[in-house]
Amino acid sequence: MDEQELLAAVASLVRPSGQELVCSQSGHPPGHVCLTASGAINLSTLLKEFSGSYGQLRNLAMGGYVDPTVTERTGLPLLAPFAGELVEMRGWESGSRWIGCGAVRAGDGEQLVVLVAERAAPSPDAPPEGASWVDSLLRATGWDARDAAQPWAEIEAELGTELPCEYKQLCQAFGVGWFSQVVTVLCSDETRVADLLRMWRGLLEDDDPSDGPFAPYPIHVPGTTGGLIPWGTGAEEMFFWHVTDGAVNAWPVLAKAKDSEYWHRYEMTATEFLYRTLTDPGFRPSTVADAVPEPFFEPA
């Protein structure tokens, strides 16, 4: 495969589909797929491409030295197929899959390797049947649900699209405020501190899709797909929906640190993303659970 074919194959394997990962290479364990890469592909170029698409990498092996602290949770499935052959390995998380890129010993030289491996589903578990992520957030923070009226018809008319149902339930249950003193969800806000439309208008006015701070994504323009709508902020991050042609309630979340060029993509709702950010120490890089083990909510 050339570089573009390789990137497309990885994107297909990490996309949620239920596809079982079975490697065709003799002696390799189940739970992963090794991809054949052209010898003309440069390792450093691939590392940059994967980091641009899948965010911060993990250093699992460098200069023939394998990190002995690596576990199933931090990337071990990417190391298992290669035993003592590894020279380099970097890893990225993407939902229920790991992406690995590195080099192994081959004869008197080295060979580029790219693989996709199964990743244990992130904890905590989904809410019980009949409950929602908003219910989970209410339980986790000990907050009594409000009925904070929101002018959804007006908001959605200006955006030119409906918004996810659970997000609207979240705004109505909590109103405007801070989760664990770090994360703010953008709703309709009379104080204008965390107002969704005000934030979106400002980003749209300053947007340069070719070279702006959110490239390669444009800020959402009413009547189009492919753009970004902001829904929340963290200490140094901004959280967006990626407006796709699919169902509104299945829009993925894109997160970006304010001083980084890299994006993190999550195939989950904004409410699930918020819950995991507040409660799961392993939900990196966005988790705040290490700093604030008991999540709470403070109204504005």
Mean pLDDT of the 138-154 span: 90
Q: How confident is the model at residue 33 (pLDDT cuts 50, 70, 90)?
A: very high
Cβ contacts of 45-50, under 8 Å, gap ≥ 24:
45/3, 46/3, 46/6, 46/101, 46/112, 46/114, 47/90, 47/101, 49/3, 49/7, 50/10, 50/90, 50/92, 50/99, 50/101
Q: What is the dihedral of CA 80, 83, 89, 95, to 10 degrees?
A: 0
Residue 164: per-residue pLDDT: 95
Query: Most confidently modeled of 186-200, 234-248, 280-294?
Result: 234-248
CB atoms within 10 A of CB 113: 24
Q: How confident is the model at residue 264 (pLDDT cuts 50, 70, 90)?
A: confident
Determine the Cα–Cα distance for residues 203 and 209; give it in Å rounded to an integer: 11
Q: What is the DSSP letter of 195?
A: B
Kindly state the helix (H) or strand (E) to which residue 299 belongs, with its residue range. strand 297-299
Q: Does the structure show a pLDDT above 60 at 121? A: no
Kindly state the helix (H) or strand (E) to which residue 45 belongs, with its residue range. helix 43-54
Mean pLDDT over all residues of the chain?
87
Cβ atoms 297, 143 nearer than 8 A: yes
Q: Which residue has the higher pLDDT, 198 or 132?
A: 198
Determine the Cα–Cα distance for residues 209 and 35; give it in Å rounded to an integer: 32
Q: 142 is written with which tokens?
A: 């000990």
Residue 209: per-residue pLDDT: 66
Q: Does the structure show a pLDDT above 90 at 257? A: no
Closest by Cα among 59, 57, 66, 60 to 85: 66
Residue 17: per-residue pLDDT: 61
